[in-house]
Structure 1
C-alpha cells in the first residue's frame, strides 16, 4: 500500500481503535486531507468468507474481501463526519509491521493505545509500541480513557460476529 499523504489510522475492531479513528477523522476534516483506515489480517483473524464451504478453502482474495467488508461495516457504525475523505484498506500481515511500512507515505499515523490483542490490563499495546518506535512519520497514540475496563474490551471482542 502506497500513500501520498494524509492520515493513516489502524483499526482492529476494538473500542480504542474506534476512538482513534474518530480522533483521526476530526483531524483529517480540519486539515482537509484524506483519512486512510487500515485493518491488518491473517487467516486466523479473518472472518469466514461467504464462499467457504465444507472441504473447500477459499482463495486469499475471498478472505481479504471479507475483512474489507467487516472493516467498512465497523467504520460505518462509528458515525464519522460525512465530509471526511475516507479510504478503507486491508493488509495481510502483522499490524505493527504493515502500519510501519504504510507510514512511509503518510503525514501522520494514528493508533489506539491498546487494541484487540494482548493481555488484560495492558494500557499500551504491542502495535502502538512498534509504530511509535519504527514509523517514518509522526505518530499519535489515542489513549484508552480511565473508565475503560480491560475486561470489558475482552467481552466486546468475544461478542463480535465471526
Structure 2
C-alpha cells in the first residue's frame, strides 16, 4: 500500500475544553501520527458563556471568540503538550456545536468527538453533539468514551 493510500489525511477533533474532548484530541493526534495525517481542532461556541465554564468579564463586553481561542489553545496543551508529534491547527467558530462541526469538516477524512454522557448507563451513550454527528456526517465519526485515552 502506498503512503498516499495509507494516509488518513485531515482529521477533525471537536473540542470544548472538557476532559472527553481532550481525550478525543489525544486519539486524533495518535491516529494522525500513525497515518501521516494532520489534525484540526475545532471549537464551536454559542451564547451563553457559562455553558463552557467561562467567567463573566469584570468590565466591558464578553469576547466569546477570544475566550474560545484561549480555551482551545489551553485544551490542546493540556491534551498533548507543546511538543506535538503531528501538525495541529486550530479553528474557532460561532454556532451550534453539532452543526458547526459538520460544516467545518467538509473535505475531512475523519471526525473525532468526545462522549458527553454522564454517569451510569448514559455514560455508554454519545452526547447530543456526538449523536448528531454520528447520525448526519457523510464520513466516519469516532466517539471517544471517557477521558483516559493516552
Q: Please, what TM-score do these two structures have when normalized by structure 1?
A: 0.71
Determine the structure 2 residue equivalent to 1:34.
Answer: 38
Q: Cα offset for 1:89?
A: 1.1
Distance 1:83 1:127 in 2: 27
- 5+ residue gaps, structure 2, are 1-8
- Residue-by-residue CA offset, 1:39-64 (whole Å, 9 max, x unaligned): 11113126458xx554x325xxx320
Distance 1:83 1:19 in 2: 16
Report 1:115-134 matches (<5 A). Answer: 121=120, 122-123=122-123, 124-134=126-136
Report 1:3-42 matches (<5 A). Answer: 6-42=10-46
Does residue 97 in structure 1 map to residue 99 in structure 2? yes
Which one is further off, 133-142 or 40-49? 40-49
Determine the structure 1 residue equivalent to 2:70.
Answer: 69
Determine the structure 1 residue equivalent to 2:6.
Answer: none
- Residue-by-residue CA offset, 1:56-91 (whole Å, 9 max, x unaligned): 325xxx320221012101210123562210011111
Query: Contact 1:10–1:99 (CA<8 Å) still a contact in 2?
Result: yes
> For this pair of structures, how many residues does the alignment match?
133
Aligned-pair RMSD on alpha carbons? 2.3
- Residue-by-residue CA offset, 1:68-126 (whole Å, 9 max, x unaligned): 012101210123562210011111111111111122221100111226xxx65432201
Determine the structure 1 residue equivalent to 2:3.
Answer: none
Query: Contact 2:11–2:38 (CA<8 Å) still a contact in 1?
Result: yes
Q: In structure 2, the residue corresponding to 1:29 is in which secondary structure?
A: helix
Distance 1:82 1:126 in 2: 29
Q: Please, what TM-score do these two structures have when normalized by structure 2?
A: 0.77
